[in-house]
Each structure stands twice: as structure tokens, then as C-alpha cells.
Structure 1
Amino acid sequence: MSAASEKPIDFDRVPLVALNVTVRKNLALYLNPRNAVAADWQSLAEMMGFSYLEIQNYERQENPTEKILEAWKGRCPDATVGKLLSMLRKVERHDVLLDLKITIEENCRRYLRELEAPVQVPVVDSCQPRTEERKGITMGDDPLGNMPELFDAFICYCQSDIEFVHEMIKQLEQSDRPLKLCVFDRDVLPGTSVCTIASELIEKRCKRMVVVISDDYLESDDCDFQTKFALSLCPGARTKRLIPVVYKPMKKPFPSILRFLTICDYTKPFAQGWFWKRLAAALSQP
């Protein structure tokens, strides 16, 4: 389907979480600098309902735009892309709307396609792939799609953290009570849609998801999508689906959307002795 023939997006139906790392970073580039002529992040913060004292505190942050967006999303259940765009129009930041129009639309279409479409498809057996594309997607799948390969955990990681993922494979798959991990670069067959297959694996094939947090993870659009998709499947972490893992010190703030979850922290020397046993126990839960 061409861009011209695609249906218009109802931005008021798209939650703020649809905007990925790249879009939020570009918004910050426009809005973080104090501007005597154009409205900046403070104007948005006022429209979002933040108090004078709150805005003063955010001013001390390295990235105030990112902070107010995350805080607004947390305090406003109906924080949507549409409301954000409306605020930008009201403060006359037409430059932002024009320059980021295409990437914001792409984010919203991707969110609606990946999160809404699967829900609308009737499913008789949740263990069976819903489309031909989702048959034979991993190395261990039955080519006919009769017996989809299942895993204990999907590993969400960026390429720079692959050495730690290899150590995770060694510690968890080659132990006395081996677990079965889904490592995308190792287990997924080439030639498939990355987002479609990732959502299928996270939702239907894996009991848990381990999120390897690092500074580079914060810059990864794929990790951003996978994490938000998994969170959407377990609001409030009621099913203990996500397990964040930190294995080295970070320079950037820990992602706020995961702060309410218990972390497996390898950076603490006193905790390294039981780190792998603790993680394995969490992944072994029914």
C-alpha cells in the first residue's frame, strides 16, 4: 500500500509510548535549548499541567524534554500523540511539526500495525501461528508449522551487548537445569519481518523476556519496540513477564518505564555470586 493510499491516522488513539527513541531525541534537540523567540520545553510542561516548582526541578535535568514526556505519560492515562501535536500547534512550533511529521507518522503506523492488528485477528489456538509468515520462523520449528518452537525467555538486547548474551547462554542453557533462550540473531531464520516475528515470539512463544539494559540499549529502536510491546501484554507487571538485567555501569538514566520492576544487577560485586542462580530461578517460574 502506497503512502498516498494509506488511511489517515487518528493520533488521539495512539498513546505516547508509540514514539520511539529517535523521535524523542529529535524532539529534545528542538525543545531543550532555551529560546527567547520560540516556545521551548517549558511551554509544553505548563500545558501538561506541571507546577512552577516541578518545572524548576526539571530544568536541572540533562534532557528536560524527555523527562517531562515520561512524567506526563505516567500522570496522564490518556497522554496521546494527538495531544502532544495539539500542544505543539498551540505554542506555534510549526517547525517541529513539519520536520518530524514523517517520522512521527511512521512510528504511529508501526504501533497501530504491530499492536492492534494481531488483537483483531480471531485466534482459535494461541499456540498456533496466525499467518503463513509466522510458520517456520525459528531454527527448531517444524517446517509445516505443526509444532512451533517454544522458549523460556526472549532475550532483548542490542548488538554491542552480545558478549554478555553469550555469557548468559553459557550460564543458563548449559547448566544442570538448562533453560531455553530465544536469541534473535541465533534462533530466528532470515528473510522474515523483524517486528512481526519479534511480536509473535514475545507474545506466543516465550514465557518471559529478559531485557539487557545498557546505554546502547537506550538508543535502539528495536529494543524500544520489543520492551513496550512486552509491557503492553502485562500491564502493571502482573504476570512477571519482564526481567530487566544490568550488567555494567551506565552513564545514562535507567529507563523510567522499567523502574517499577525488580532488577537483576550484575554491577554489584556482592551480588554476582548468586546473580545467575537468581535469574535462572525467575525464568523457571511457571
Structure 2
Amino acid sequence: MKRGYFSLESSDDYEFDAFVVYCDADRLWVHGVLLKHLENCNLNVCVHDRDFDVGEPILNSVEKYMAKSWKIIVVLSNNFAKSEWCQWEIALVQERRRRQGKEVLVLVMYQQIDSKHMITPLKALLDTTPYLSYKEGFGENLFWTAVDKDIHKPLDIPPTSIF
């Protein structure tokens, strides 16, 4: 810092490789498919219903464990777009993106979101951040390759002034 340099963050600076934000209605796919794949790739993934501290308020835990995670994976669906809880999590995700750049997010479109469920913050996120669309079967291997690549991609830290 004294010479005008600062260290860049790496995944080694975090307890988890990824934190997964999802709607509980999509839990079967998240736990049965997404987590299974990521953990088979030796990634340490944080999900709320398994990794949070018992007895600690959920609001505190979400912020705490997002901060302990290198990347944030957001599983998007109609269920997600309709959930007020998920809308609050999108606000946290957007703040993290502002601080660390768009590479901190891995957006997974699990289910196309109908226009009647598209809220402004979610639309803004989708308009400014690339996302990966999941479709079982044809192209699924390409999808998983892209997810793995995005999780391992270095952060594109926004410019910082150091005085």
C-alpha cells in the first residue's frame, strides 16, 4: 500500500468458493443438480439451509456468508422473481456487484422469467450482467463448462484510487 500497490483478491481469501441465492421453491434442482455438480468439482459451496449458524438471524447470516464467499451464484426463475425475500437478496447482490464488479456474480437462468414477474431491479441486473441459461439435455455439458469457468474467473475489480 505504501508504494501505491494493493493486493488483488483471490478465491484463497474466502472460506467458500460460492454462495447460492435461490428461491426455496427451486430447492430440488439446486440441491439435486446444481450443488451435486459443483461439489463433485471439489468446490466449497454455501447454501442457507445447510451452512448457516443455528439460532442466528437469517438477515445477519445472509450478509455474513455472502462476505465469506468468492462468487455469488443466483438461480433465477419465476419463483425467484415473485419472492419478496429474493428481491431483498438481489439488493445485496447488486451492492456486492457495485463493489467488486460483474465477475463476482454467476447468474443462472434456471427458468425463463415471465414479463409479468419481471421486477425493475431484476431486469436491471439481467440487462447489465451476462447470464447462463440452463436446459436439461442438449447443451447441458456446455452450460456446466461455462458455470465452472465463471466460478474460477478472476474478479474484475473496479478502478480504485489510493492516496
TM-score range, shorter chain: 0.7 to 0.9
Q: Which amino acid aligns with 2:21?
A: C
Deviations 1:99-120 (A, max 9, x none): xxxxxxxxxxxxxxxxxxxxxx
Match of 1:199 in 2: 63
Q: Which residue of 2 aligns with 1:172?
A: 38
Task: Tell me which residue corresponds to 2:108.
Answer: 245
Q: What SS does the corresponding residue of 1:155 show, helix, strand or coil?
A: strand
Q: Which residue of structure 1 aligns with residue 47 of structure 2?
A: 183
Q: What's the TM-score once normalised by structure 1's chain length?
A: 0.43
Amino acid at match of 1:262: P
Q: Which of 1 and 2 has higher RCO (CA within 8 Å, sep 6+)?
A: 2
What's the counterpart of residue 22 of structure 2? 157
1:56-111 deviation line (CA, Å, top 9, x unaligned)? xxxxxxxxxxxxxxxxxxxxxxxxxxxxxxxxxxxxxxxxxxxxxxxxxxxxxxxx
Measured against aligned partners, the alpha-carbon deviations of 1:155-182 in whole angstroms (never above 9, x if no partner) come to 001111011111111111013xx11111
2:150 equivalent to 1:282: yes
Structure 1 equivalent of residue 157 of structure 2: none
Aligned CA RMSD, in angstroms, stands at 2.2
1:223 aligned residue: 86
In structure 2, how many angstroms separate the alpha carbons of the residues matched to 1:273 and 1:152? 21
The secondary structure found in structure 2 opposite 1:189 is: coil
Q: Does structure 2 conserve the Cα–Cα contact (< 8 Å) formed by 1:151 and 1:205?
A: yes
Whichever residue aligns with residue 169 of structure 1, its letter is L
How far residue 268 of structure 1 moved from its aligned partner, in angstroms, is 8.0
What does residue 6 of structure 2 align with?
A: none
Aligned counterpart in structure 2 of residue 256 of structure 1, from 116, 123, 139: 123
Instruction: Report the secondary structure of 2:88's partner residue.
Output: helix
Equivalent-residue separation in structure 1 for 2:46 and 2:148 (angstroms): 14
Name the SS of the counterpart of 2:78 in structure 1. coil
The gaps in structure 1 that reach 5 residues or longer are 1-148
Which secondary structure state, in structure 2, belongs to the residue aligned with residue 191 of structure 1?
coil
* Structure 2: gaps spanning 5 or more residues: 1-13, 155-163
- Rg bigger for which structure? 1
Indicate the structure with greater strand content: 2
Query: So what's the TM-score if we normalise by structure 2?
Result: 0.73
Number of positions where the alignment pairs a residue of Structure 1 with one of Structure 2: 135
> In 1, distance between residues paired with 2:100 and 2:15?
21
Letter of the structure 1 residue corresponding to residue 123 of structure 2: S
